[in-house]
Chains A and B, each alone.
Chain A
Amino acid sequence: QLQLQESGPGLVKPSETLSLTCTVSGGSISSPSYYWGWIRQPPGKGLEWIGSIDYRGDTYYNPTLKSRLTISVDKSKNQVSLKLDSVTAADTAVYYCARSGPGIRGATTSWGQGTLVTVSS
């Protein structure tokens, strides 16, 4: 059974870089046709897609975050990483790692439990 586990600092200072890692078990991030993504949810608000990466390493980013965002994969560790630069309080949210597919229009069938990241000095 596919499992996704987010990890990283729970507290980040304003203007610094938020870095999270998603470790995938029970499946390979190199599986064709699947997309590994990050989704966040500010406290009390709705879901916001951050970005995704496919098995070839092609990335798809939310246009509103694109200038600050890097998503990458480490196939040797079966991990997906998120880096978001120059964070502000507006980036405080629960961050979820997720897998969607098969195909670009496929549903998100697997989610991590989520990790709360607070941006504060």
Chain B
Amino acid sequence: SYVLTQPPSVSVAPAQTARIPCGGPNIGSKPVHWYQQKPGQAPVLVVYDDGVRPSGIPERFSGSNSGNTATLTISRVEAGDEADYYCQVWDSSRDQNYVFVFGTGTKVTVL
């Protein structure tokens, strides 16, 4: 099965840049989506198709994807960015069944 690996935690000072990696075999060949989840709330999409921001998401959120690593970058971090972040892809197996895979999740702490 396809596994997406993220660091459990990332700490960053306000106004600095947070980078959250998401590792998977040849992930660069798949569209990657990123979700933000705050305590007690449903996840919210912050980046889709590697690096596209949905309407209403600040420009501070950006993404990239190449090789075996996709990265979510949060620039000029604010206290309100403190949350769990998950990457996600669809993977297809040899029998053409599609499965939806989430990363292990990264807790971003703003110092």
Contacts and interface: CB of A to CB of B under 8 A. Distances in A.
A96 B42 contact: yes
Contacts, number: 59
Q: Chain B interface mostly helix, strand, loop or mixed?
A: strand
Q: Contact size class for B? A: 20 to 34
A26 interface: no
Contact of B100 (A60, A109, A112): A60
Given A60-B100, A96-B42, A108-B33, 15 more contacts: A46-B103, A46-B104, A46-B105, A47-B35, A47-B86, A49-B102, A63-B99, A96-B43, A104-B90, A104-B98, A105-B90, A107-B48, A108-B35, A109-B48, A114-B42
Interface of B: 1, 30-31, 33, 35, 37, 42-45, 48-49, 54, 84, 86, 88-90, 97-105
